[in-house]
Each structure stands twice: as structure tokens, then as C-alpha cells.
Amino acid sequence: MPQQSALFGVARIRVHEKKLINKEKLARMAEASAQEALRLLLDSGYGTMPEATIEDSEEIIASALSQTYSLVREVTPNSLLTDIFLMKADIHNLKLLLKLRLTGSTEEPAFMSGGVYSTEALSQMVASSDYSALADWLRAAMESLEQSFVSHINPVKISVQLDNAYMEYALKNGNSFVVEYFKAQADFNNVLAALRLRAMNQGADKLKEVFIPGGDITFLTLSCAMEVPVEAFAKAVSTGPASRSIQLGIDAMLRTGRISPLERERDNYLIVLAGRNKGEIDTIAPIIGFLLAREQEARSIRLILTAKRNNLPDSIISERLRELYG
């Protein structure tokens, strides 16, 4: 049953914050052998499989995340704000189910866990095209997509329309932190999309198809930036609180010739933003921060254990590891 006060919820989260894997432990895991890395993880109390092997790593991570989602729901006095973040799983799962249905694929769906709606319920909705059980904003987006399929099936439109609806909902219903978080996320993702399109010699017309409005960087600003030399791109989009981090990511991208440094800068910026209000005791900011921290932690652990399982060099791990909550 949800807690009645943010104060009690935050107090419980504080206990679990102490169990988060710190940077030093991750570094030791990254330098260890596969089985030693797993043992370091299990010895820290992560998961509930003390006799696990490296082949069980995905199950261990999934179990830890499941416990986190249950805890967050239990300690949150008002689920409106936490649900905004949890619903990213629902958005992912609806995209996946729609695309599988439209292509006639029988492959097993790679669902994300932790959503507001069960995957069984979403599967039934998509199979029947009946979305009456969804929140109004999401039902409207799904029904609009279904109507568009009558004349034309566009897989890109599925992602963009659901992302747009999700962004609009977050900006309308979130507090100042939620708004800042989603605006920064949109700016990073729009810049990443523009740079990928540019590398494929695509222009603003293609960008318009995938652009997510609502961030600080407008479509006009970004489309103009696509026309300048790539060395001047960062300066051309330097607006909003995330502009400095976007510039750092682009600079690293130019040095390495890879786009992954900008993706890493995005994830680092967002987790630092999530931890900015962790000291509050009478709001749910620390609860949201803990949720995002656990998800970032899971991605880092998955990266390390997957690399170890596939005998990838340690340099790959260090290059891709993200910042942790702090």
C-alpha cells in the first residue's frame, strides 16, 4: 500500500540508497574476471541468487529492477510523478507490440519491465485494438495511430507519435524537475537524431519526421544547424541548460569519430540532474532519483557483465560506463 507521506517514503528510500553500487565497486568489477565481477556484485547484496553464474546475469538484473519498481510504488504517496517515469516502459512496449502486429512477426517481444500497465494487458489491447483501459492521453494517441494505419503503415510514425504524446503529457503534468528532465532529454535526443541524419546526408525534411517538440532547442534552430560545418554545429544549438553538456559530447564525438560519447554525455547529464534534489525530505524527488539511479546502475552492470561474458576488452567498458547517482 502506498505511503501517505513523502517524509516516510523518503526515509525508506534512504535505507536503499546505501545499497546502490558505488563507482569504486563498478571499477573493481570492470577490472575483474567474469566470475569475479559477478561475485563482487552478489557480495554487495545485489539480487537474490547467491549461487548464480555469469549466465544468470540478466535474470539477476531483472529481479533487482523488479524489486525497485515495487518499492517505488509502495513508498510513493502520489503516483502521478513517478508514473511519468515508469510509463516509458509502457511506451516502449506499445511501440513493440504494434510493430510486431503490423509486420505479422511471431518473435518473442523484448518487453521492458516496470510499466504502469502489465505486458499481458497491453498485449490484449494491441491485439484487439481496444485501448479504453489506457489513460486518456495515451488512449487518444493509440486510437489516432490505429486510424492512420487504414491508409498507410509507417513504423517511424508509431515511435514519433507515441514519443510526442509522452513528452506532451510529461510537460503538462510534471513539476519543475520533471519538466527540466524531459526537456533536456528531448534536446539531447533531437541533436543525436540530427547528427545521425546528417551523417547519412539527410536534411531537415527527414529531421521533421522524427523531431520531438518541447525542448529548449527548436526545430528551426536544429534544422539551421544541419547546414553549417559540423565543427560549428555545437555552437549553433547552444541554448538551454544542457547546452554545455551537449557541446562536450559533440566535441568528444568529433575527436573519436563516434556518436557514443554524446549518448554517454546525455545519460550522465540526466543522472546528475536526477541527483540534484536527493537531499530533500518532504518531496518525492529522492524517490524519483532513486528509481533513475537504479536503472542507470542496472545498465552499467549489464554492460560490464555482458562485456565479460563476451571477452570484450576492458577499454570498451570504461569508454561506455556512465556516471552514477550521487
The pLDDT value given to residue 50: 67
pLDDT greater than 70 at residue 48: no
The pLDDT value given to residue 204: 93
Q: How confident is the model at residue 100 (pLDDT cuts 50, 70, 90)?
A: very high
Mean pLDDT lowest for which of 65-69, 248-252, 280-284? Answer: 280-284
Please compute the mean of the pLDDT values over residues 211-235 and round it to a whole number: 95
Please compute the mean of the pLDDT values over residues 185-197 and round it to a whole number: 97
The pLDDT value given to residue 302: 93
Please compute the mean of the pLDDT values over residues 89-116 and round it to a whole number: 93
Topology of domain 1-78+284-326 in CATH is Topoisomerase I; Chain A, domain 4 (1.10.132)
Please compute the mean of the pLDDT values over residues 205-210 and round it to a whole number: 94
* Residue pLDDT, tens place only, 103-143: 888 888 899 999 999 999 999 999 999 999 999 999 999 99
* Residue pLDDT, tens place only, 292-315: 999 999 999 999 999 988 888 888
Please compute the mean of the pLDDT values over residues 198-203 and round it to a whole number: 93
DSSP 215-261: SSS-HHHHHHHTTS-GGGHHHHT--STTHHHHHHHHHHHHHHS-SHH
Average pLDDT, the chain: 91
Q: How confident is the model at residue 82 (pLDDT cuts 50, 70, 90)?
A: very high
- Whether residue 98 contacts residue 157, with contact meaning beta carbons closer than 8 Å, is answered with no
Please compute the mean of the pLDDT values over residues 181-203 and round it to a whole number: 96
Verdict on whether the full-model pTM lies above 0.85:
yes
The dihedral of CA 3, 89, 302, 212: what is its sign?
Answer: negative
d(CA 117, CA 142): 15
pLDDT greater than 70 at residue 89: yes
- For a pLDDT cut of 90, what percent of the chain falls above it? 71
The pLDDT value given to residue 170: 97
For Cα atoms 294, 299, 303, give the angle at the middle one, nearest 5 degrees. 145
pLDDT greater than 70 at residue 1: no
The pLDDT value given to residue 196: 96
Residues 6+ apart with CB under 8 A from 27: none
d(CA 302, CA 324): 14
Question: Position 67: which residue type?
Answer: Q
Domain boundaries, given as residue ranges, for the chain? 1-78+284-326, 92-174, 185-266
The pLDDT value given to residue 300: 93
- For a pLDDT cut of 70, what percent of the chain falls above it? 97
The pLDDT value given to residue 326: 60
* Residue pLDDT, tens place only, 10-37: 999 999 999 999 889 999 999 999 889 9
- Whether residue 165 contacts residue 182, with contact meaning beta carbons closer than 8 Å, is answered with no
